[in-house]
Amino acid sequence: MTDSPDQRVRVSVDDRGIAEVALMRVDKMNAIDPAMFNAINDAIARLRDDAGVRVVVLHGEGRGFCAGLDMSRFQQMGEGQTAGSLGSDLVARTHGLANAAQHVGWGWRQLPVPVIAAVHGVAFGGGLQIALGADIRVVHPEAKLSVMEVKWGLVPDMSGCVFMTELLRADVLRELTFTGRIVSGTEAQALGLATRVAADPLAQARELAAEIAALSPDAIRAAKRLLNGASPVDASEVLLAEAREQQALIGSPNQREAALAGLEKRVPRFR
């Protein structure tokens, strides 16, 4: 099958039950626009309903995993448009505990099988949160990762607060969130954002997927249920809090100034 030029996500499942999900917006470094949000959520729904899937490999085509929210969205915010990425009411729970934007990260956690993210190039903002939804992250040592939302006057609101609270020491999480500092794949592993580093993350993710697919699917699914249930984070409360904080920020004067300053590459002038 030939990919269509505007295809955002490609999904395939082989005869071993190994699914691959590739982000395909190569010309934009897989930046997330409304069509990408919808395509990722459609991919999650397709895999959730496929009883033959045993493990998922998630990766980005081209030069990076995902550069985060599409720049055109920040332009709209700078101009005072206050709608969220997929509508104006971020607080509405449209996908279980999550809204549609949160589900592109949270949905991987909710799949009944393990998800392995292979990360190269960049994983910024929302792109990082998508990767954090995976159970395991194999990251190139020179990849660049960032909780970048603060640079645009925003907070992480795509389920990242749930995942990062599980993975990171509290002071490290606060530093990364307050500064938007970019870390390498090597540092990400040391901090807890990455499971392991590899010169070829996709090849290693595929090897790990093959190992998991050869084991009892019943045991693997049971293990994921147990580990999901063992999380100390109250996901329902955190996801709702993410949405409320972000909805209040989008379109506010200082958020608009942060977006415009970032687009114009100047120092922001906050009130």
Question: Per residue of the chain (271 residues), what is the pLDDT tens digit?
Answer: 334 446 899 999 999 999 999 999 999 999 999 999 999 999 999 999 999 999 999 999 999 999 999 977 666 665 655 544 445 689 999 899 999 999 999 999 999 999 999 999 999 999 999 999 999 999 999 999 999 999 999 999 999 999 999 999 999 999 999 999 999 999 999 999 999 999 999 999 999 999 999 999 999 999 999 999 999 999 999 999 999 999 999 999 999 999 999 999 999 999 9
Element (H, E) at 184: strand 182-184
Of the candidates 17, 108, 28, 116, the one whose C-alpha atom is nearest the C-alpha of residue 67 is: 28
Q: At what angle do helices 235-249 and 100-110 cross, to 10 degrees?
A: 160
Structure confidence at residue 141 (pLDDT)? 98
CA 190 – CA 184 distance, rounded (Å): 10
Cα–Cα distance, 263 to 254 (Å, whole number): 14
Provide φ and ψ at 137, rounded to 5°.
-125, 120
pLDDT at residue 1 in the model: 32
Alpha-carbon gap, residue 47 to 53, rounded angstroms: 7
The two three-digit tokens of residue 101, written as one number? 């934007």
The pLDDT of residue 241 is 97
- The pLDDT value given to residue 72: 72
Query: What is the C-alpha R_g of the chain?
Result: 18
- pLDDT at residue 3, rounded to an integer: 40
> Smallest Cα–Cα separation from 42: which of 66, 24, 18?
24
Cα pseudo-dihedral 265, 65, 92, 221, rounded to 10? -160
